Amino acid sequence: MYDFANSGYTTVVITAVFSAFFVSGVAGKAPWATFAWTAALSASYLAVLLTAPLVGAWADAHAAKKRLLLYATVGCVVFTALLYFTGPGTVALAIALIILSNFFFATGENLIAAFLTELADSKAMGRVSGWGWAFGYLGGLVSLGVALAYILVWATPRGQEGPQYVPVVMLITAAIFALAATPTFLFLKERARPHRELEHPWKRVRQTLLQARNYRDLWRFLTCILFYQAGIQAVIALAAIYATEAM
C-alpha cells in the first residue's frame, strides 16, 4: 500500500506537472531552468547516497525502520504541500522544497524496501516486490488522474493557468500521499529487535565498507545500479520538460 501512496509524488511532482511548471512558470523559461531543475534533484540524490547507509545502520540498531519511515513520509508530504507557495520568480524556494521533498521521498523508498525480508520469504520475495511495483504504478496513475481531472474539469474552464492550478495540484498530491500511506502505519509491524552492538552507525558503516572490498562483484553490481538508476531518473525528471519544449 505504501508503494501506491508514494508513487503519486514522482508521477505528479517530478515527472508530469511540477517539473514543467518549474521550467516554464517558476523560472520563466530561463536558459538555465532545466539545469537548475536537474541540479536540485542531483543534490537531493547525493544527500540520499551519503546518508542512506547511516540511516539504515541506525534503523537496524534501534529497530526503528517504521519510525523513520513515518518521519520520511511526513517530511515528503509537508514539503510537497509547501510547493503550494511557489510561483513565478520563486526559484530558490522551489529548489529548496524539491531538494527536501525528494530527499525524504527517496529515504522512505529505502526504508520501505527494508521491510521486504520481513513480509515475504525468499521464494515469494520477487512476487511480493512485483506486486508492490504494480500498485505503485497504479497509485501514480490515480494521483495523476485526480490532478488532471482538477485541471481539466475545474481549473481550465474557469480560465486558470499554471500559476493558479499547479499549487493546488501540489496540495492534492500531498493529501493523497498522506491518506494512502496511513494504512501502512496502522497495520505494518516492526518485527526487528534492537541490536545494542550496532548502536554506532558510523563505525558500522566504516566496517561494512572495509569488508566490502573483498566482494568485487558487489561493487560492480552497485556501480551498475548507480549508472542505471541515473539514466532512469534523468528520463523521469525530464520527460514533461522535453515534451513541453518540443511541442
Q: Residue 247: is its pLDDT beyond 80?
A: no
Residue range 140-171, pLDDT digits in tens: 999 999 999 999 999 999 999 999 999 999 99
Q: What pLDDT, on the 0 to 100 scale, is given for residue 199?
A: 60
Least confident residue range of 180-184, 200-204, 221-225, 230-234: 200-204
| Among the listed residues 68, 60, 159, 168, the one whose alpha carbon sits nearest the alpha carbon of residue 117 | 60
State residue 55's pLDDT score.
92
Nearest to 241 by CA among 19, 88, 13, 11: 19
pTM over 0.75: yes
Lowest-confidence pick of 43-57, 113-127, 139-153: 113-127
Under CATH, which number does the domain 2-190+214-246 receive? Answer: 1.20.1250.20
- Determine the pLDDT at residue 101: 98
Please give the grid coordinates belonging to residue 60.
537496524
* pLDDT at 108 exceeding the cut of 90: yes
107-126 b/e (C-beta count within 10 Å ≥ 16 → b): bbbbbbebbeeeebeeeeee
Q: Is the pLDDT of residue 235 over 80?
A: no
- Pull the grid cell for residue 12: 505528479
Mean pLDDT of the chain: 89
Length of the chain: 247
Angle at 203 between CA 200 and CA 206, to 5 degrees: 145
Q: Which residues contact 158 (CB under 8 A, 6 or more apart)?
A: none
Is residue 172 predicted with pLDDT exceeding 90? yes
Domain boundaries of the chain, sorted by first residue: 2-190+214-246
